[in-house]
Amino acid sequence: MDVRGVAMTKRIKGKARTGKNPKSRKTKPLKGSLLFRPGMAPREIVSTLRSLEGVAITSTGMRDAGQSDYKNRHRIFDLSTLAGYYNEMGLFSAECHGGARWHVGIMNRRESPFEEIEILREKMPNVMLQTLIRETNLWGYRPYPKNVIEYVVQRVDIDIWRCFSFLNDVRNMRAVAEVVMKRGRLFEPAISFTQAEWTTNNYYLSVVKDIVDLCGGVDEIILCIKDMAGVGSPERIRSLVDAIKQRYPEMVIQYHRHSTDGLALPAILAAAQAGAKILDAQEDSLTRFYGQPPLLSLHAYLEEAGVRVHLNRSAAEAAVQKVRDWIGHYDWAESPFRGFDHNVTQHRMPGGAFPSSFEQAEKGGFLHLMPYILRVMSLYNKIVKYFDVTPGSQITWVTCSGIVNRYEKEHGRAGVRHLISLLEKFVEENKQDFSSMDKREQEELLQLFRNAPGDFKNLLLGGYGRLPVGWPDEWVYRSAFGEEWKEKIKERKELSPLDSLEDDDLEKHRNTLKETIGREPTEEEYILYLMHPKDTVSYIEFREKYGEAPLVLPTDVWREGLKRPGDRVDFDLWGKPYTIELVSVGDEHEGLIHVVMRVNNRTRVYTVETPRAKRIEIRMAKGPDEIGSPINGNLWRIGNPQRGELHVGDIVHKGEEIANLEAMKMENAITAPFDARIKEICAKLNEAVVEGQLLFVIEKI
Amino acid sequence: MVGEIKKILVANRGVPAVRIMHTCRDRRIPTVAVYSTPDRLAHHVFMADEAVHIGEAPPVESYLNMENMVKTALQTGADAIHPGWGFLAENDRFAQMVMDSGLTWIGPAPESISLMGDKIKAKKIAMRANVPTIPGIEKVKDIREIKRWMDREDIDFPVMIKASAGGGGKGMIKVSSEDELLTAFSQAKSEAKKAFGDDTVLAEKYIERGRHIEVQIVADDYGNIVHLYERECTIQRRNQKIIEEAPSPTLDENLRNEICITAVRLMREIGYRSAGTVEFIFDSNTRKFYFLEVNTRLQVEHGITELITGLDIVSIMIDIAMGRPLPFKQPDIRPNRWALEVRLNAEDPKSFSPSFGTITRLQIPHGPNVRVSSGVNEGDDIPPYYDSLFMLLMTAGANREDAIRVMDRALGRSLRVEGVKTLQPLLLSIIRHPKFRSGEFSTRFIEEHLKELVSAFKDKDSEDEVLKIARYVAEISALGPQEWM
């Protein structure tokens, strides 16, 4: 599937500081040979995996690793330096796409997922590219209608589509599954895993049955167990994989696990021993606390236990080493909450949400409340049962951090402690028996969700699909909706959003974008816009202004610029060499700084506005009672020759000339749009005015 | 007036001033530039051998200030004045004043300027010389007169109201219906007053979907009148030309000869001297042409005639002013290529609203078959007081297709202007438009196709892209890591 505008990115070559050319290295046969390639039919992939001795690896180094410990800030400029090694490593796939990487890409890194695919396809043609997609929520945070899902999924060039539902509502996967399977790409449905009393093997077997029914068997899919918080104890995982393999012996299983509880490696070994065929890992040098386990350690640990790992170890070692070249540029992006956290088994915050939640807490000034919030989360998830993964994790986070912040604001730290003991009593001692709480406690619980976010309320009403083990108790609805709670329960949807949401008007969206950016958008820009409208417009504006800076600048320059006179950055752009060298940065004067640089030997001066720059406020005409200037020009006459100059209070008639502008020796009459009285004259005679500038305020008579 | 010209004062600024100074440099004639206060560092000032401040920004105080102009010429020892185009170029009183001060006027006789400057008299002379003219009515006092004339001669809307003293599209308004008549009439009068100091207007039948064709003439003091063939200037916006070409793609050989001979006949009737242009409107439906006006000056688009003939019209004007006879006869003039010109105005290409400011980047096209006539350098300001034209871009080729291809390269891949908005994207869209390429267009081409025209953009180029990256590096170097990262 080709999309417009890709020719451009093809020519980009960032000056990657590649050491040895990985292509010249001799690969060991068998171990790490290239069994999997883009273009393989799903059935072929599945049968290759079934006959594979040992396990294969999905590297998450290009997506989930960075998302879990570095807020998704790893730039394709750096990640693509690993591509040459990946190309030889004998990976099953590289997860390099999806999840929050889309959104953070356009918002913070200013690079598009389409550019990333294009670059990686060129640099690692042997590697199957994998995405993570949130069923109807795609790569956004809300359910999209069916026609949007089909339009988008059809146009993204990805080999393996790992698809999960935070509700394990398999119905929601249908649209994605159909398009992916029709395209001959590999669909990988995931079951969201957590450890709770209700997430039994039988529960999961019922979810897997739905999946097998949806996908017409087990021959063209891979099943993923998505342990996104890193909470599966080794024996729990062994038992789950085993149960699935007992029921579906031919099913190929991939185990995706985060490291948060510190028990990733034993859990993964247990999964492999029970029959999982693909395991997720990341470069050891990228590993911190919340991502996948370290690749080389995993390799050694499993091999020692007698499980063969299909991997070219020397290429993997080189990739691990390569990361050390650039990982130091990302210290600023690391989560402020460091270290493993076995209590994740209680609060269940997923690895991918860790750094961003802590970032929000830090920005919001409530980092000190984090222990309380995590505790409230661990109680909350027993009241409203779903899986803490996007968008569920955001709903949990916003709801729980909101409640804790409200208590802190109203009653101080004592109030927060009171909240926790109230919830502990309700959940743990009284087993959620609402009637067993006394009247004051009941009243307090009935206020708990009153200010909860709209997404939480939408979740209760079935907006995202069915909850995995039924709707929450009545009091939750009373708490969230007050007196309207009964009507709200009646409105609650049992249908999948795929069946309840009406199609979007795609042409209308395209036209809105076209009008906003003032030109025809590319297909890729349009798809980004369908996911994240506001941020995409800002991304497009950024790229129009700064071009391919996000793709060609090394990360230190991208983040901090050139520091000392004589510092330079070399890069290739579209096959030609360029050098930008700093000559000097001037002092700030009236909000302006002058930067002198040499761009390929030519000296250029850039005037940079600081946040203190003075901006001249020009009032622009807005409503129908405000008359603006149609052009840039000189206001040489206020009034007309017949009646002379006009003043505030004068009556003018529809069509009467009320002012005249001159620009480049041409006259432009401004006429009254209706009979009116002049309320205000907002420009002076002979003033140079700009297009749209407010000239008159008038009052209809 | 016979004798060598030793020093020329160029009574103009921008593109025309620079153009004239180029020829003076070729001929090693020293030049004097004049400049208004905002033009102190303008390009033409440094093209000249010396430069004199002539007044404040408003044109009446500087480039239209006749006394100052003549005084400056005398003080600097210039012995001739070239007026360029615009400003004082078609002011017969100025021409007379120059001559009365003992200076040489490089242009037509004041009598010719005055005669042709009056649209009504010009039309009468044209009729006398058997040149076809558009039906119309002169010295209109009020709109009732226009209505009576339309009844009498069975003329339908649209009609055109024009300043009798006009030119260059100023004081010229098309009226599509009776409702618009009054506003248009007063606007034309007012613009006429402002632009030409005379509010006399005339009304004419409007030729729908007409094409604008003009003939370049040069004439000496000895009755030699030679035409340098025609130019077509049909692509206009708001009655101002923005693309011109020579020869005209509309005419066949017979019509070409007829229109050129007609122009010579008219100029002979006038007794014209120096360079001038006879403008016609060509009705494609009836394949008839009508006289529009005579421009008694060097025209903006003279360069394309120079490209197809190999002549230097400014140089010829100087020779004629020195009393020399034309060095060629009509049969010597043999155009042998196609030339195209686009006008780069500092304007918004969508709204045509003027765009002022500093040109922060200017990359000028080079290479085979390209001629650039620029009034500005990188870093110059475009002040709001004067015409928005800042550069002419001309290309040539063995045929029309070649010339368009070179223009596509020049506009799409070479020319870069930043800091002000320009017509560049619009011009590029026009020359890429199939209707333009096939030669099927009228003076209404832009209004008819505006929607599709403004969507084309210049070609992507790594030179442009690297400057965007450099801007980013500059901003981050000055401001440090940003919130949004």
| Domain at A567, CATH number | 3.10.600.10
- Indicate the average pLDDT of chain A: 91
pLDDT at residue number B326: 97
- Which chain A residues contact residue B173 at CB under 8 A? none
Q: Is A610 on the interface with B (CB under 8 A)?
A: yes
- Inside any domain, residue A88: yes
B430 to chain A, minimum CA–CA distance in Å?
A: 17
**pLDDT, tens digit (0-9, with 9 covering 90-100), for B307-362:** 999 999 999 999 999 999 999 999 999 999 999 999 999 998 888 888 888 999 99
The answer to whether B55 and B67 have CB atoms below 8 angstroms apart is no
- Inside any domain, residue A596: yes
- Inside any domain, residue A221: yes
Residue of A585, A560, A557 whose CA lies nearest to A569: A557
Tell how strand A253-257 and strand A223-227 pair up.
parallel
**pLDDT, tens digit (0-9, with 9 covering 90-100), for A306-322:** 999 999 999 999 999 99
Residues A606 and A636 in one domain: no
The answer to whether A501 and A148 have CB atoms below 8 angstroms apart is no
- Inside any domain, residue B72: yes
Pairwise pLDDT comparison (B201 vs B402), residue with the higher score: B402
Q: What percent of chain A has pLDDT over 90?
A: 76
Q: Which domain holds residue A448?
A: 364-500
- Which chain B residues contact residue A599 at CB under 8 A? 466-467, 470
Residues B288 and B389 in one domain: yes
Task: Give me the residue label for tokens 């950016």.
Answer: A517
Specify the 3-state DSSP secondary structure of A224. Answer: strand
Residues A83 and A185 in one domain: yes
- B473/A593 CB distance under 8 A: no
Q: Is pLDDT above 60 for A10?
A: no
Pairwise pLDDT comparison (B459 vs A589), residue with the higher score: A589
- A561/B468 CB distance under 8 A: no
Residues B217 and B363 in one domain: yes
- Inside any domain, residue A31: no
Q: Is pLDDT above 50 for A5?
A: no
- Inside any domain, residue A401: yes
- Inside any domain, residue B128: no
- Which chain A residues contact residue B351 at CB under 8 A? 631, 691
Distances in whole angstroms, Cα of residue B146 to Cα of each of A487, B137, B183, B202, B281: 73, 7, 14, 9, 21
Q: Which residues pair with B52 in a beta bridge?
A: B34
**Cα separation, B319 vs A643, whole angstroms:** 53
Q: Is pLDDT above 90 for A544?
A: yes
Residues B41 and B185 in one domain: no
Q: Range with the lowest mean pLDDT among A274-278, A439-443, A689-693?
A: A689-693
Residues B342 and B224 in one domain: yes
pLDDT at residue number B384: 85
Cα A575 off chain centre by: 31
Q: Which residues pair with B225 in a beta bridge?
A: B219
Q: Is B467 on the interface with A (CB under 8 A)?
A: yes
| Domain at B168, CATH number | 3.30.1490.20
Total H helices, total E strands in chain A: 28, 22
CA dihedral A348, A351, A352, A355 (to 10 degrees): 100
Q: Is pLDDT above 80 for B101?
A: yes
Q: Is A8 on the interface with B (CB under 8 A)?
A: yes
Residues A402 and A328 in one domain: no
Q: Is B360 on the interface with A (CB under 8 A)?
A: no
Whether the link from the prior residue into B158 is cis, omega within 30° of 0, is: yes
Arithmetic mean of pLDDT, A317-328: 97
Residues B308 and B221 in one domain: yes
Residues A320 and A372 in one domain: no
Residues A253 and A122 in one domain: yes
Tell how strand A278-281 and strand A55-59 pair up.
parallel
- A560/B467 CB distance under 8 A: no
- Which chain B residues contact residue A580 at CB under 8 A? 466, 469-470, 473
**pLDDT, tens digit (0-9, with 9 covering 90-100), for B381-411:** 998 889 899 999 999 999 999 999 999 999 9
Residues B267 and B393 in one domain: yes
Q: Range with the lowest mean pLDDT among A46-55, B278-287, B315-324, B334-343?
A: B278-287
Q: Is B416 a catalytic residue?
A: no
Arithmetic mean of pLDDT, A276-285: 98
pLDDT at residue number A23: 43
Catalytic residue (choose from B13, B19, B211, B297): B297
Residues B215 and B201 in one domain: no
- Which chain A residues contact residue B457 at CB under 8 A? 519
Domain count, chain B: 3
| Cβ-nearest to B466 among A593, A599, A634 | A599
pLDDT at residue number A352: 82
Residues A304 and A370 in one domain: no
Residues B363 and B407 in one domain: yes
- A546/B186 CB distance under 8 A: no
Q: Is A425 on the interface with B (CB under 8 A)?
A: no
- Inside any domain, residue B290: yes
3-state helix, strand, coil in chain B (%, to 5): 40, 25, 35
Residues B63 and B147 in one domain: no
Residue B45: pLDDT band (50, 70, 90) is very high
Q: Is pLDDT above 50 for A26?
A: no
Specify the 3-state DSSP secondary structure of A160. Answer: strand
| A675 CB-near residues (< 8 Å, 6+ apart) | A651, A652, A653, A654, A700, A701
Arithmetic mean of pLDDT, B106-110: 97
Distances in whole angstroms, Cα of residue A289 to Cα of each of A330, A335, A336: 15, 9, 11
Residues A317 and A392 in one domain: no
| Domain at B250, CATH number | 3.30.470.20
- Which chain A residues contact residue B347 at CB under 8 A? 664
**Cα separation, B214 vs A315, whole angstroms:** 74
- B468/A691 CB distance under 8 A: no
Residues A676 and A569 in one domain: no
Q: Given A588, A615, A642, which residue is the final one in a domain?
A: A615
The pair of structure tokens assigned to A41 is: 């039919």
Q: How would you classify residue B171: left for phi > 0, otherwise alpha for psi between -120 and 50, otherwise beta?
A: left
A687 to chain B, minimum CA–CA distance in Å?
A: 12
Arithmetic mean of pLDDT, A330-344: 90
Q: Given A318, A333, A348, which residue is the final one in a domain?
A: A333
The answer to whether B172 and B136 have CB atoms below 8 angstroms apart is no
| Cβ-nearest to A557 among B186, B455, B473 | B473
- Which chain B residues contact residue A547 at CB under 8 A? 464-466, 468-469, 472
Residues A659 and A585 in one domain: no
Residues A311 and A411 in one domain: no
Residues B90 and B58 in one domain: yes
Q: Is B187 on the interface with A (CB under 8 A)?
A: yes
DSSP A473: P
- Inside any domain, residue B111: no
Residues B227 and B192 in one domain: no
Q: What percent of chain B has pLDDT over 90?
A: 73
Contacts by residues B190-197 (CB-CB < 8 Å, ≥ 24 positions apart): B190/A641, B190/A667, B191/A666, B191/A667, B191/B163, B192/B163, B192/B164, B192/B165, B192/B166, B194/A662, B194/A665, B194/A667, B195/A665, B195/B163, B195/B166, B195/B170, B195/B171, B196/B163, B196/B165, B196/B166, B196/B170, B196/B171, B197/B165
| Domain at B43, CATH number | 3.40.50.20
**pLDDT, tens digit (0-9, with 9 covering 90-100), for A658-694:** 998 877 666 788 888 899 999 999 988 878 888 888 9
Going through B18-146 in order, the beta strands assigned E by DSSP cover 31-36, 50-55, 80-82, 104-105, 136-137
Q: Is pLDDT above 50 for B445?
A: yes
Residue A180: pLDDT band (50, 70, 90) is very high
Q: Is pLDDT above 60 for B214?
A: yes
- Which chain B residues contact residue A332 at CB under 8 A? 481
Interface of B with A in 368-397 (CB under 8 A): 384, 386-388
- Inside any domain, residue B276: yes
pLDDT at residue number A20: 40
pLDDT at residue number A93: 98
Residues B273 and B401 in one domain: yes
Pairwise pLDDT comparison (A4 vs A359), residue with the higher score: A359
Domain count, chain A: 4
Q: Is B460 on the interface with A (CB under 8 A)?
A: yes
Cα A83 off chain centre by: 22
Q: Range with the lowest mean pLDDT among A141-150, A274-283, A614-623?
A: A614-623
Q: Given B205, B220, B249, which residue is the final one in a domain?
A: B205
**Cα separation, A553 vs A549, whole angstroms:** 6
**Cα separation, A315 vs A25, whole angstroms:** 9
Q: Is A106 on the interface with B (CB under 8 A)?
A: no
Q: Is pLDDT above 80 for B170?
A: no
The answer to whether B339 and B403 have CB atoms below 8 angstroms apart is yes
**pLDDT, tens digit (0-9, with 9 covering 90-100), for A458-491:** 999 999 999 999 999 999 999 999 999 999 999 9
pLDDT at residue number A279: 98
- Inside any domain, residue B480: no
Q: Is A243 on the interface with B (CB under 8 A)?
A: no
Residues A601 and A636 in one domain: no
Q: Which domain holds residue B142?
A: 135-205
Residues A245 and A170 in one domain: yes
Q: Is B197 on the interface with A (CB under 8 A)?
A: no
Interface of A with B in 576-595 (CB under 8 A): 576, 578, 580, 582, 585, 593, 595
The answer to whether the Cα torsion of A600, A601, A603, A608 is positive or negative is positive
Residue of A287, A239, A286, A296 whose CA lies nearest to A262: A287
Q: Is pLDDT above 80 for A220?
A: yes
- Inside any domain, residue A373: yes
- A597/B479 CB distance under 8 A: no
Q: Which residues pair with A130 in a beta bridge?
A: A95, A160
pLDDT at residue number A615: 66
| B416 CB-near residues (< 8 Å, 6+ apart) | B361, B362, B363, B458, B461, B463, B464
Whether the link from the prior residue into A391 is cis, omega within 30° of 0, is: yes
pLDDT at residue number B2: 56
Residue A17: pLDDT band (50, 70, 90) is very low
Q: Given B174, B205, B236, which residue is the final one in a domain?
A: B205
